[in-house]
Amino acid sequence: MTKKELIEQIRLKKSVLCVGLDTDLSKIPSHLLQEADPMFAFNKAIIDATKEYTVSYKINTAFYEAYGEKGWQSLAKTLDYIPKNIFTIADAKRGDIGNTSTQYAKTFFETYNFDSVTIAPYMGKDSVVPFLQFEGKWGIVLGITSNEGSLDFQHLIADGKPLYEHVLNKVSTWGTTDNIMFVVGATRKEQLAKVRSICPDHFFLIPGVGAQGGDVATVCENTMNKDAGILINVSRGVIYVSNGLDFAEKAGEAAQQYQQEMAVYL
């Protein structure tokens, strides 16, 4: 999906919602465990209930890889079921030497045909650039995250600036605003405006809203640009609102509530 197409969907739906399909068999409604493919049955119902309100789905591959071949089959079926006008993210956080990164890129852009994949940039340029060679595809690079361990490295001062600032500045020169996004954690509110000032025109994938403590208003007010420029990911706050027979209905209601909060800024 191109940047223009993504912006069109954001404007059409008045939403920057990205629903995270972090599907955990220990958390889905128990009645679905009788299905031939419980993960896909859950995802299908969630997608049906939320697709009107979301512009993106993020599939965290770890939850599928853990189940081996069956998990990958569930992932593929889920990806195929997502409407083609909705932006898809493989949350895989890959990053390796160039020829290995090329194979990772082929996995998620050719074999599975995702629109984007998350990338860990620690190994530098040759680990990121291979993902940027596919037309209409995106690399979503870890910029600044909101987990406790982010303090171990991302905020260390190097040449007078936190390391994450060097990452944002350097990585943004390796591609364009049409093929690079950054992961920017929502729970560190004081950093949002700073990161936007460093990368004024890039899209951000912003996790941390909902269960992790971030809120839509703070994110939108500090990070939106002329193109909207953000995708706000919510996982638990949508897909696990209920674990009963009404799980899909409740997920749809939660997605609609987030969309309505976002529409104010669009």
CB 77 within 8 A of CB 99: no
Phi, psi of 22 (to 5 degrees): -90, 70
Q: How far is CA 15 from CA 96, 214, 220, in A?
A: 34, 17, 11
Whole-angstrom Cα distance, residue 58 to residue 114? 10
27 tagged catalytic: no
Strands (E) located in the chain: 17-20, 56-60, 87-94, 116-119, 138-144, 157-158, 161-162, 180-184, 203-206, 230-234
Whole-angstrom Cα distance, residue 257 to residue 253? 6
4-265-206-197 Cα dihedral, nearest 10 degrees: 80
Residue whose pair of structure tokens reads 């992961």 in the numeric block = 183
Whole-angstrom Cα distance, residue 98 to residue 183? 21
Phi, psi of 54 (to 5 degrees): -115, 150
Q: Which of 14, 44, 93, 189 is catalytic?
A: 93
Nearest Cα to Cα of residue 91 among 112, 73, 69: 112
Q: What is the set of active-site residues?
A: 93
